[in-house]
Amino acid sequence: MTVDLDRIARANLREMGDIRIDDVLSFIDRGIENMPSYMDLYRRWEAQQWAVSDLDFTLDRQDWLEATDLDRKATLWSHRLFFNGEERVTATLAPFVWAAPTPEMEIFLSTQMVDEARHTVFFDRWWHEVAGTDAKNLGELLVEIRPDANEGYNELFYDRLPSTAQRLASNPKDFDAFVEGVTLYHIVIEATIALTGQRFELESMRDQGLNDRGFYKGFTAVARDESRHVSFGIKVLQEAVREDGERYAPLIQKTLVECLPLISGTLDPPDPSYVTEFGYTESEIVAYAMESLNKRLRAIGINLAA
Ligand SMILES: [Fe+2]
Ligand SMILES: [Fe+2]
């Protein structure tokens, strides 16, 4: 079946309930054959605006009140990782904008900052209206939901990501740092970890007939934003490898090899039933993540063989 990419590209929030995540992600794969320019990605951003305030979480709240304990625990585990992660990537992107080697990249990355802020607000609203919280502001809520007991996650979001951003802020002309940063941010965190988590959660909601919920629509819009971000990352690294493969391919490979255990660490639930309950296995999820990573690497023009 051919996917109607134009329909997905133009869909508004109301129509997101009819859209499957796999079809949204096929934009990235199509891009690989025919890479959009940075300004094409900018124009897509202009055409794909959506507002958190347009979502309706009434049914989501009803589901929450009727959910089993296991359901709630599994959802909270996933949403804590996402919510905190969205805020972390919002906070650390500005140095990438400064370090962008061309104005076209700078413009695209500025749109991405707005997206990441919107994704953070999406989870803030979900927390207030669905899960519930007494937190008085976003800062308090982020402290309340910060994921615990996950070494891989902590190392990625509290060590590697801020230190990469700091390295770029200290020396925005350091293109090696930019290449390593895009590998970490766009390829490891967004393309491999976030899109894998999103894919399994959205497919599980769809299997349960919950694709008319506010969360499903908003999270699908988030995934469509991520498909632009990932395309940007692939393009940056593909260009770097084409320009000087001997220099940049080993830099990208080194970053990936260091991050591999953190990927499975982050995706690994504290209780296996958080995924088996919904018909999946941990190894299936990690295998999907690795397969997506390998697809992106082929597009960039490298492989993982050390
Ligand atoms: Fe995001
Ligand atoms: Fe993103």
> What pLDDT digit, counting tens, does each position of 158-198 carry?
999 999 999 999 999 999 999 999 999 999 999 999 999 99
Determine the distance separating the centroid of ligand 1 and the alpha carbon of 240, expressed in angstroms: 24
Q: Whole-number mean pLDDT of the chain? A: 93
**pLDDT tens, 229-288?**
999 999 999 999 999 999 999 999 999 999 998 988 888 888 888 888 888 888 999 999
pTM to 2 decimals? Answer: 0.95
Mean pLDDT, to the nearest integer, of 118-135?
98
**Which are the contacts of 140, defined by CB distance < 8 A and separation ≥ 6?**
none
**Residue 57: pLDDT above 90?**
yes
Q: How far is the CA of 65 from the centre of ligand 2 (A)?
A: 30
Buried b (16+ CB within 10 A) or exposed e, 277-297: ebeeeeeebeebbbebbebbb
Answer yes or no: is pLDDT of 306 > 50: no
Say how many Å lie between the CA of residue 174 and the centre of ligand 1. 25
- Ligand 2 centroid to Cα of residue 176, in Å, is 21
Return d(Cα 126, Cα 105) in angstroms, integer: 32
- How far is the centre of ligand 1, averaged over its atoms, from the C-alpha of 246 (Å)? 31
Closest ligand by atom to 198 CA: 1
Number of CB atoms found within 10 A of residue 70's CB: 13
Q: What is the pLDDT of residue 246?
A: 95
Ligand 1 midpoint to CA 118 (Å)? 8
Q: What stretch of H or E contains 246?
A: helix 214-267
Ligand nearest to the CA of 229: 2
**What is the Å distance from ligand 1's center to 293 Cα?**
18
Residue 280 CA to ligand 1 center (angstroms) comes to 24
pLDDT at 27 over 50: yes
Q: 229 C-alpha vs ligand 2 centroid, how far in Å? A: 5
List % helix, strand, coil for the chain (3-state, nearest 5). Answer: 80, 0, 20
Nearest-angstrom CA–CA distance, 138 and 158: 18
Which pairs from 157-164 meet CB under 8 Å and 24+ separation?
157/84, 157/85, 157/88, 158/88, 160/184, 160/259, 160/262, 161/88, 161/89, 161/92, 161/185, 161/189, 162/88, 162/92, 164/92
Query: How far is the C-alpha of 211 from the C-alpha of 2, rounded, in Å?
Result: 21
Cα 218 to ligand 1 centre (Å):
12
Residue 18 has pLDDT above 80, yes or no: yes
Instruction: Among the bound ligands, name the one nearest to the CA of residue 226.
Output: 2
Q: What's residue 229's pLDDT?
A: 97
**Cα-to-centroid distance, 305 and ligand 1 (Å):** 29
Q: Identify which ligand lies nearest to the alpha carbon of 82.
A: 1
pLDDT of residue 177: 97
